[in-house]
Structures are given as structure tokens and as C-alpha cells.
Structure 1
Amino acid sequence: MAGGTYTLVLERDASGPISVGALGELRFPAGWYAYTGSALGSGGFGRIDRHRAVAAGDNDTRHWHVDYLLGDAATAVEQVVTTEADIECAVARRVDGPSAEGFDRVDAFGCSDCDCRSHLAYHEHRDRLVEAVTDAHAAATG
């Protein structure tokens, strides 16, 4: 398989609004975010390099909701978790884990082509978010 499912662990070091395409202006508090997407096309996990380029300011093209978040100067890619399987929605639904305490979702973010509530989860603490991401990938492949 040339790709699969990935989750970007993002840090926002400042709160503020961001205009996110058709979703309009959304407020993103400082903290940690997990965005889950798929990289199943011919470029595979090369999509992650594109996301890093947007976050670094080296690519101004905005195709997906996450591009708007990544393009904001307060957002950085901190870590990426990948799985060589087509489990995007299963991972996105599990990221907040069995206990959703402290987690929040950005409604309709990154899921315009499926029936998920969101593909972007928020938590104030990095360690809890990374644990949830890792567990979600493991559970979805289990």
C-alpha cells in the first residue's frame, strides 16, 4: 500500500479565529489538536509533506479544511502517526477515546466527504492527546 491513514498532532501556541473556507470563521484555542486524514492516492503519505509545507509557509494553496489551520502562524505540526490501512473514519471517531473528558471536536471539520461529526479533536494537554491518537490507530487496526 502506498499510503493509508494519518493523524497530525498539531500545537497551537496562541488562541484566535481562523477563516476555514466554507466553514467560515472558527475560533481555535491554544492547545493540542489531532487531525485525521487519508493518504490513499498516488502520492500516498507524500500528502504529509504537503501539510508540513503549508505549516512552514512554503505552500499557500488551500484545498482542505486542515490547510487553513496549518496555514495559521500559531499552528505547528508536532508529530505524525501513520497506519498503512484505510481506517480514516474509524480513527477519527476513536481519537477522544473511551473517556471524552477534556476533549472537544470542531464540528464538520475535515469530514465533508463522510458522515463523521469531525476529523479534528482538541485537548489542552499534549500527552493525553498523543495517547488518544496512538490508541485510536491501534484500536482501529485491531
Structure 2
Amino acid sequence: MNARPAVSYQLVIEVTRSLRVRVGRLGTFEFAAGVYVYTGSARRNIEARIARHERKSKPLRWHIDYLLAARGVRILRVVRSGCAECALNRATAGQIPIAGFGASDCRAGCGSHLRYLGVQPG
């Protein structure tokens, strides 16, 4: 049985302490310490997109770039999926911390492609 190729991905992100981040034109926001999940996709070469997210030094282009560039923020793991980006995002638990984050081109009414899962026991 063939698995569907990855068309979307989720970054599981740890914010080690509360911080304030300017997210491009979206504005400046407070991020509580804890775990977040960002859902994204790439029309071509999803692995290159993921590798770009994992680099600390890069031009800040997308909302997620601003969060990932902040001190005390790291990607814990990457989950690849054959599900469409918005379907995957809507199936993800958690609270929407910032309306519109990562969802500038969303036509499915997700509200945000970033979810806050809270502080995880560890």
C-alpha cells in the first residue's frame, strides 16, 4: 500500500519563556511559554520549505519566520502529512493565540494556522 506523499506539515514548537514578538505587518504579540503547532504546506519541494524553517538565519518572509527567529524558540519536531493544510489544521487541538497567523492565504476560514497547546508536562 502506498502512502500519500506529504503535501503539508506541522512544526511542533517550544517557546521556553513568555515573549513579545513583532510578526511582520500582523503586529506585535505576546507568546506565552509552552508548545505551539504551526501548520503549513508547500506546492513544490516541501523538504526545502521545512529545511528553511529549521534555519535560524534567513530573511523574515512569513509569520512563522518571526516567531522562529526569537530567542528561546525551537522546533521540537516536524510532522509531515498527506492531508490538505487546512484540513490538518482544523483537526489540530489547541487554542488560536493570534488571529490570522500563517493564514493570510487561507480560504477555508481556519482563523489561524498556529495553535497553542499550553505548557506540556515534562
| TM-score grouping bracket, smaller chain normalisation | 0.7 to 0.9
Which of 69, 90, 95 is the aligned partner of 1:93? Answer: 90
Distance of aligned partners of 1:94 and 1:3 in 2 relative to their CA distance in 1, 3 Å threshold:
closer
RMSD of equivalent CA atoms: 1.7
User: Which residue identity lines up with residue 79 of structure 2 in the other structure?
Assistant: V
**Post-superposition shift, 1:44?**
2.2
The answer to whether the aligner puts 1:104 opposite 2:95 as a matched pair is yes
Q: Count residues with an aligned counterpart.
A: 115
**Post-superposition shift, 1:8?**
0.2
What TM-score does the superposition give when structure 1 sets the normalisation length?
0.75
**Post-superposition shift, 1:46?**
1.6
Where is the helix percentage greater, Structure 1 or Structure 2?
1
What TM-score does the superposition give when structure 2 sets the normalisation length?
0.86
Which blocks of at least 5 consecutive residues in structure 2 are unaligned? none
Report the Cα distance in structure 2 between the residues aligned to 1:65 and 1:126, rounded to whole angstroms: 24
Paired residue for 1:44?
A: 46
**Post-superposition shift, 1:88?**
0.2
**Post-superposition shift, 1:3?**
4.5
Divergent runs of 4+, >3 A: none
Report the Cα distance in structure 2 between the residues aligned to 1:61 and 1:2, rounded to whole angstroms: 28
Report the Cα distance in structure 1 between the residues aligned to 2:26 and 2:17, rounded to whole angstroms: 21
Identity score, percent: 38
Write the mapping of 1:1-142 to structure 2, written as runs, cut at 5 A: 3-41=6-44, 43-53=45-55, 57=56, 59-85=57-83, 87-96=84-93, 103-105=94-96, 106-114=98-106, 115-126=109-120
User: Which residue identity lines up with residue 91 of structure 1 in the other structure?
Assistant: L
Contact kept in structure 1, 2:101 and 2:114, CA below 8 Å: yes
